[in-house]
Amino acid sequence: MRRHGALSTVGWQVLICAIVLSVWQWGYDLRTRLPWLVPDLLDPYFISKPSMIFDNFLIQSCLTSKLGAFNGWFNGDFGKCLARNENNLWAATAITLKNTFFGFVTGVVSGFVAGLILGRSDRLSAIFQPFITAVNSIPRIALAPIIVLAFGIGDMSKIVTSWIVVVFLVFFNTFEGARSIDEGFTNAARLLGASEWQITRTVVIPSTMAWVFASLTPAISFALIGVIVGEFIGAERGIGRLIIESEARGEASGMMVAVVVLMLVGVVLSAIIWRLQAYLLRWQRQRGAE
């Protein structure tokens, strides 16, 4: 029964994909016959269409220089194409990923440490509370132009933008987690002779982990958003830059290629976090056994 249910779930998913892609690909062709049914938005000028996006992907990724003919891997055409275009799809993805990674890691580490310290100290949290509330009320993305102005159009401005959107998210979750630790656990540890540092390491951090992980999936998306916005505002390379260039040329398929790549990147990064969480929080999975 269960197995049958799972299969039909996948079946439905494939069907939905097929319908969406078909409408996208051929929907606008119906306009001549059924103009009342097809909205303007389906115009490939705005949203391109799957076949054009695929062709554009082949070109931007240097897999082909001319439609219908693939670049040879060994005759050097692929390498020459990459060298000709500094912001080819591969290089752009790599640079965006790199900056996302650094923004994410610095944001998570600093947010976690700050959340832990303030969460465990009533005095510090009382002192900093109004500042944190104030800064948190700023839509962080609004700071992106200032950051690009301050840090230039290189990688640093992207990392900082990404950091600033991630750090608060992780900070608040860690803070809440550190506040809501079961006193029974800390008492038990203390009575078994744990020092304050041992309590932090063996009780506070593990029991805060579930809260931290709850923030990591949105944090990785935020990190990516931060980098892309930074690249929109000023960059020489990166996927955000690709989108801006395609937009300037009025080339919807070029933008769509970038969007699809971002989607794939987002899916892969979330999957990595999910696996990491399943491993580190494996003790939670047995809860159902009770």
Residues that bind other proteins in the complex, under the rule CB under 8 A: 182, 184-185, 187-194, 198, 202-203, 206-207, 209, 281-284, 286-287, 289-290
Q: How far is the CB of 181 from other proteins (least distance, A)?
A: 11
- How far is residue 281's CA from residue 186's CA, in Å, rounded to a whole number? 20
Cβ neighbourhood burial of 106 (10 Å; 0-12, 13-18, 19+) = middle
In sequence order, the 6+-apart residues with CB closer than 8 A to the CB of 64 are 58, 70, 71
Considering the complex, state which of residue 26 and residue 283 has its C-beta at the smaller distance from other proteins: 283
Residue 269: exposure state from Cβ atoms within 10 A (0-12, 13-18, ≥19):
buried
Q: What is the DSSP letter of 86?
A: T
Nearer of residues 81 and 199 to other proteins, judged by Cβ? 199
Extract the tokens encoding 57. Answer: 């992907």
Beta strand spans in the chain (E): 64-66, 69-70
| Smallest distance from other proteins to CB 92, Å | 41
**Greatest CA separation for the chain:** 81
Residues 191, 197: Cα–Cα separation, whole Å: 14
Cβ nearer to other proteins, comparing 145 with 206: 206
The backbone torsions φ and ψ at residue 88, rounded to the nearest 5 degrees and listed phi first, read -65, 165
- Residue 100 Cβ, how far from other proteins at the closest point, in Å? 29
CB of 116 to other proteins, least distance (A): 16
- The tokens describing 125, both together, are 């949290």
Q: Which CB sits closer to other proteins, 74 or 197?
A: 197
Distance of alpha carbon 223 from alpha carbon 97, whole angstroms: 10
Give the residue with the Cβ less far from other proteins, 131 or 197: 197
Pick 136 or 198: Cβ nearer other proteins? 198
Which one, of 202, 128, 141, lies nearest residue 172 by Cα? 128
Least Å from the CB of residue 206 to other proteins: 4
Q: How far is the CB of 192 from other proteins (least distance, A)?
A: 4
Shortest distance, CB of residue 232 to other proteins, whole angstroms? 42
Q: How far is the CB of 290 from other proteins (least distance, A)?
A: 6
Residue 62 makes CB contacts below 8 A (sequence gap 6+) with: 71, 78, 81, 82, 85, 88, 89, 90
User: What is the C-alpha to C-alpha distance for residues 169 and 268, in angstroms, rounded to an integer?
Assistant: 21
Nearer to other proteins, 5 or 184 (CB): 184
CB of 2 or CB of 282, closer to other proteins? 282
Rounded Cα distance, 176 and 270, in Å: 23
